[in-house]
Amino acid sequence: MLSEYREVFLEELEEQLQLMDEEILKLEQEEDCSQVVQSLFRAAHTLKGSSAAMGYDVMKNLTHEMEQLLDLVRSGKRGVTGKLIDRLFYALDHLKLLKLDIVDGGGGTGIDISVCVRQLRSYASGEETDGETAAIVNGEAETETKAGTGAETGEFGGMEGFKAQEPDFAKPPLPLNVRLKAGECLDQGLNVHWIFVRIAESCAIKGARAFVIQSGLAEWGEVLFASPEMEELPEQNGETADIAFLHAGSGRSPGDLQTLVSDMMDVAEARVEAVSSEEFELVQPQLSAALPLEPAMSAIQPVRNEERGAGTSAKGKTQTIRVSVERLEHLMNLVGELVIDQTRIHEVERVQRRRFNDPSVEELGHISDHLSRIIGDLQESVMKTRMLPIEQLFNRFPRMIRDLSRDLGKEIELVIEGKDTELDRTLIEEIADPLIHLIRNALDHGIEKPEIRQSKGKPAKGTLTIRAAHEDNQVVIYVIDDGAGIDALKMRNSAIGKGVITEEEAAYLSERESVELIFRPGFSTAAVVSDVSGRGVGMDIVKSHIEKLNGLIEIDTAVGQGTCFKIKLPLTLAIIEGLLVKLTGQTYIIPMSNIAEIVRVTPEDIKTVRGQSVILLRNQVIPVAWIHEYFRLPKPEGHKPYISLVIVGSAEKRLAMVVDELIGNQEIVIKSLGSYIGKVPGIAGGTILGDGSVALIMEIAGLIGKIGGKGAVSQGG
Amino acid sequence: MQASGQEQYVEFGIEQEQYAIRIEDIHEIIKIQDITAIPNVKDYVKGVINLRGRIVPVISLRCFFGSEEVPFTKSSRIVVIHHQEEAVGIIVDRVNKVTTFSDIQPPPERVGGVQGSFFTGIGLAESRLVGILRLDEVLLHE
């Protein structure tokens, strides 16, 4: 059962942790916290339920503690303080560690949560003196194992929620199949009981003991369900272990069973509760929240809106389902095949029309037209299913910035705009690292320390704005700070000092170009390498990463006022706008994002400078590349009066590529050539054109590196 | 060698010689299609084709074995095989039939002008000798 639901559990866990992250941050900012606390409480409760169902006890225990504490906060018994927030974050970090452990295949048992639990408890108990918490809680822990007597521990102390007299065993949630089975047993007139057993702390191998007990129970009926799993029981001495069995049998009253079980070896305590059919019905709605309804549904599970809390966002109200990315990818491929077949049908129809004059051919034409419209819509819809709001990524920033600004001793106000902007999910993943780098840079180098800011007449609190928006057919992300800005002169001198450029080169650089030196490899303006930025990953990596995504990055800066980084990205990675060109009869595609302009020149315009063909375009010398030579294609015959040149650029390098013919531009779906062919220099991949043939997509940055290496000059150089 | 007799092979020809591939490794056999050449790759990699929306590389076995290139004929075929989760097309002069071998001998050092390691064995069927291709060697050859 575990592996089947593990995936769904992890998804839910991720979602709930994200929610907690946001909500805890809100606690810090908002005046009225009751809603936020409520939603946190619900999240902790949900996780407690599902982790218990999955048998992840450590997580269950931690979430239980969080739930207890939040319950007190909710009822106003404990206040919302900075310490509470720290404690909750600390607990959240542990939950994240547990999650990683579970993802790695561990049972979430390798993480020590004792400190964290102690902290939560000490806050809950009202003991807020920081240093001595450990001592106090240790004492508390001891009383607890002996079924504590103090009113305080009774209220929120024990892991399993002990009461002073009668041990209170928690009923584990039941999966649907067990509930159905139990229902059947009741219908057959069998007695169904919850049998709770506490194995004594002196027992050395609790798992084995539990197994013996289970076999014993099986003799008097059937064990429908046991929780936790036998393997999950703690092995250490000095701890009791609780197990709950759901037992169906006939002829024995709860009292009989209780006596029988209590007499077994190593059983410290036992309790038997009769179960009525109503219980299963009552439990059901709550449980369907924690577990998928049936195995077949596990891949597509309704997102439980009501569980996400009213406070999250209005977006949570829309009806959604979870679909695995694989399925979407598959769908996308199928649509791709449809498109190709459709163009074929169209072709056949044209041939038929020429040959026959028949109403059925007319009909075929209508069908073909209709089909192409529908397939077009289908393609667009499938494409949209891959889009996600950038919220997914942006939600990670508040916590990160909170921690960073603390470490750096800076005060930052974060403004996030355009969370709803949608883009391809792979793009969201890919853009995360560059964006985080930019934010770290802005915090570290951009925004000044409060004292400095005040001495310059700025508010002590710096503002960092992260904004996403759709502009034209692109997504634009801004990272704006109101910090020190980038000083062009300083950049130039620093670049000369580091040997990135020569003094000669520096003299030619405009202000803008000087600022853009930041993107050169081996350049970092930080005088002090801090932990935050300057870990050897420079802005050049950011830039190349963004260019790899067919994106662009621009800087706008004013000394003393701040810096704005603008990242432009295509809506999706899979589809690009390309220019179709012909080289010796074969179609190639040049990504539009790399094209600066297209010019037509006469053969006389192409000059030779030291063996390199160049053209002079608006006083700029641009090397000319005979792409045919590089691709080892025969050069076209004959002499044409004009030569078409496509001027392409990557970073500041320009190259004029000679092409035989320009066909036009169109949107293309990028496909990999597969690992058998592997990486081909100068080729980024392939695409299937409307006529079903394969066309290769040029990789401009690579081509410039290869061909232009000897001759490509920088702009204005 | 592995048990013979039961296993089925697809037998195909290049020039006068016969070769075979285990039937489980074969995805499908298609007629020659438009092949888009890829610049700056090995000679025997002829390019890529569109196999119902998938881009599939094709190699020429003739060229791989160092024989002279000839234009495709009516009987030329692309044998699409499944290799390490990916489809690869192999151009052959003709596809003969599905066959079984009564006996499979270990390959000699050289088969014709070709390195013996490209074969898992030499199959005997009705007095014909058929080279059974070792796909890992052929496809991962550097």
pLDDT tens-digit map of A607-644: 888 888 888 888 888 888 888 888 888 877 767 788 89
pLDDT of residue B92: 93
Q: Is A671 on the interface with B (CB under 8 A)?
A: yes
Residue A194 lies in a domain: yes
Cross-strand bridge partners of residue A226: A245
To the nearest whole angstrom, how far is the Cα of B9 from the nearest Cα of chain A?
23
Q: Does the structure show a pLDDT above 80 at A254?
A: no
pLDDT of residue A332: 77
pLDDT of residue A573: 67
Residue A596 lies in a domain: yes
Same domain, A598 and A700: yes
pLDDT of residue B89: 94
Q: Residue A235: which pLDDT band, with cuts at 50, 70 and 90?
A: low
Q: Residue A271: which pLDDT band, with cuts at 50, 70 and 90?
A: confident
pLDDT of residue A677: 85
Taking residues A157-166, report their average pLDDT.
40
Same domain, A556 and A631: no
* Interchain contact, A340 vs B53, CB within 8 Å: yes
Q: Are strands A595-601 and A661-669 parallel, antiparallel or unpaired?
A: unpaired
Q: Which two tokens stand for residue A44?
A: 């902790």
A12, A23, A65, A67: the catalytic one is A67
Structure-model confidence comparison of residues A208 and A646, the more confident one: A646
Q: Which spans in A146-247 are helix H?
A: 151-156, 176-187, 206-219
Query: Whole-angstrom Cα distance, residue A593 to residue A648?
Result: 9
To the nearest whole angstrom, how far is the Cα of B65 from the nearest Cα of chain A?
18
Taking residues A434-441, report their average pLDDT.
88
Q: What is the pLDDT of residues A457-488, one digit of tens each?
A: 888 888 999 999 887 767 899 999 998 888 88
Q: Is A542 helix (H, G, I), strand (E, B) or coil?
A: helix
Q: Are A644 and A606 in contact (CB under 8 A)?
A: no
Same domain, A17 and A103: yes
Same domain, A149 and A232: no
Q: Does the structure show a pLDDT above 80 at A84?
A: yes
Taking residues A386-415, report their average pLDDT.
86
ipTM over 0.85 threshold: yes
Q: Which residues of A touch B88 (CB under 8 A)?
A: 676
Q: Does the structure show a pLDDT above 60 at A292?
A: no
Query: Whole-angstrom Cα distance, residue A242 to residue A169?
Result: 8
What percent of chain A stands above pLDDT 90?
Answer: 6
Which residues have a Cβ under 8 Å from the Cβ of A199 and sit 6 or more positions away? A206, A209, A210, A213, A233, A240, A241, A242, A243, A266, A267, A268
Dihedral sign (CA A447, A451, A457, A463): positive
Which residue pairs from B106-114 have beta carbons closer than 8 angstroms and sit at least 24 positions apart in sequence? B106/B1, B107/B131, B112/B17, B112/B65, B113/B65, B113/B66, B114/B65, B114/B66
Same domain, A550 and A601: no
* Closest CB to B38 among A336, A683, A693: A683
pLDDT of residue A313: 44
Task: Please provide the DSSP assignment of A326-345 as one string.
Answer: HHHHHHHHHHHHHHHHHHHH
Taking residues A167-183, report their average pLDDT.
71
Half-sphere exposure of A545 (CA within 13 A, CB side): 19
pLDDT of residue A4: 58
Of A104, A122, A156, the one marking the end of a domain is: A156
Q: What residues make up the domain containing A184?
A: 176-296
CB atoms closer than 10 angstroms to residue B137: 14
How many Å from the N-terminal Cα to the C-terminal Cα in chain A?
67
Q: Which spans in B2-134 are helix H?
A: 61-64
Q: Which of B134, B57, B70, B128 is nearest to B97 (CA)?
A: B128
* Interchain contact, B39 vs A686, CB within 8 Å: no
pLDDT of residue A281: 53
pLDDT of residue A286: 40
Same domain, A287 and A367: no
* Radius of gyration, CA atoms only, chain B: 15
Q: Is A633 on the interface with B (CB under 8 A)?
A: yes
Q: Which of A587, A586, A609 is nearest to A665 (CA)?
A: A587
Residue A138 lies in a domain: yes
Q: Residue A410: which pLDDT band, with cuts at 50, 70 and 90?
A: confident
Query: Whole-angstrom Cα distance, residue A84 to residue A127?
Result: 12
* Closest CB to B38 among A337, A680, A688: A680
Interface of B with A in 80-99 (CB under 8 A): 83-84, 86-88
pLDDT of residue A160: 40
Q: Is B142 on the interface with A (CB under 8 A)?
A: no
Domain count within chain A: 5
The alpha carbon of A306 is separated from its chain's Cα centroid by a whole number of angstroms, namely 23
pLDDT of residue A402: 87
- Can A127 be counted among the known catalytic residues? no
Of A156, A191, A218, the one marking the end of a domain is: A156
Q: How many residues does chain B have?
A: 142
Same domain, A264 and A364: no
Same domain, A538 and A441: yes
Residue A105 lies in a domain: yes
Residue A638 lies in a domain: yes
Same domain, A209 and A148: no
Task: Please provide the DSSP assignment of A355-420 as one string.
Answer: H---HHHHHHHHHHHHHHHHHHHHHHHHHHHTEEETHHHHTTHHHHHHHHHHHHT--EEEEEE-TT
Q: Does the structure show a pLDDT above 90 at A203?
A: no
- Name the CATH superfamily, with its identifier, for domain B9-139: CheA-289, Domain 4 (2.40.50.180)
Interface test with A, best of B27, B32, B40, B56 (most A CBs within 10 A): B40
To the nearest whole angstrom, how far is the Cα of B57 from the nearest Cα of chain A?
7
Q: Are strands B17-22 and A241-249 parallel, antiparallel or unpaired?
A: unpaired
Q: Is B49 on the interface with A (CB under 8 A)?
A: yes
Q: Which two tokens stand for residue A196?
A: 């709770």
Q: Are A647 and A617 in contact (CB under 8 A)?
A: yes
Query: Whole-angstrom Cα distance, residue B18 to residue A597?
Result: 54
- Can A45 be counted among the known catalytic residues? yes
CA distances from A525 to A222, A560, A638 (A): 72, 16, 54
Taking residues A94-113, report their average pLDDT.
79
What percent of chain A stands above pLDDT 70?
Answer: 79
Q: Residue A168: which pLDDT band, with cuts at 50, 70 and 90?
A: low
Task: Please provide the DSSP assignment of A199-210 as one string.
Answer: E-TT-S-HHHHH
Full 3-state SS string of A574-592: CEEEEEEEEECCEEEEEEH
CA distances from A432 to A385, A397, A419, A636 (A): 20, 10, 14, 45
Same domain, A43 and A100: yes
CA distances from A383 to A321, A376, A572 (A): 17, 11, 8
To the nearest whole angstrom, how far is the Cα of A673 from the nearest Cα of chain B?
6
- Can A363 be counted among the known catalytic residues? no
Q: Is B55 on the interface with A (CB under 8 A)?
A: yes
Q: Are B90 and B58 in contact (CB under 8 A)?
A: yes
Dihedral sign (CA A120, A123, A126, A131): positive
pLDDT of residue A157: 39
pTM of the model: 0.50
pLDDT of residue A544: 80
Q: Which of A527, A591, A514 is nearest to A555 (CA)?
A: A514
Structure-model confidence comparison of residues A342 and A492, the more confident one: A492
pLDDT of residue A513: 80
The mean pLDDT of chain A is 76
Which residues have a Cβ under 8 Å from the Cβ of A254 and sit 6 or more positions away? A193, A272, A273, A274
Q: What is the pLDDT of residues A19-30, one digit of tens each?
A: 888 888 888 777
Question: Max CA-CA distance within chain B?
Answer: 43
Burial of residue A496 (number of CB atoms within 10 Å: 0-12, 13-18, 19+): middle
Same domain, A131 and A197: no
Q: What is the pLDDT of residues A521-580, one digit of tens each?
A: 766 544 444 444 444 457 878 888 887 787 888 888 888 888 999 998 877 666 677 899
Per domain, the residue ranges of chain B are 9-139
Residue spans of chain B under pLDDT 50 = 1-4
> Domain holding A97: CATH number?
1.20.120.160
Q: Does the structure show a pLDDT above 60 at A284?
A: no
Q: Are B142 and B32 in contact (CB under 8 A)?
A: no
Same domain, A141 and A37: yes
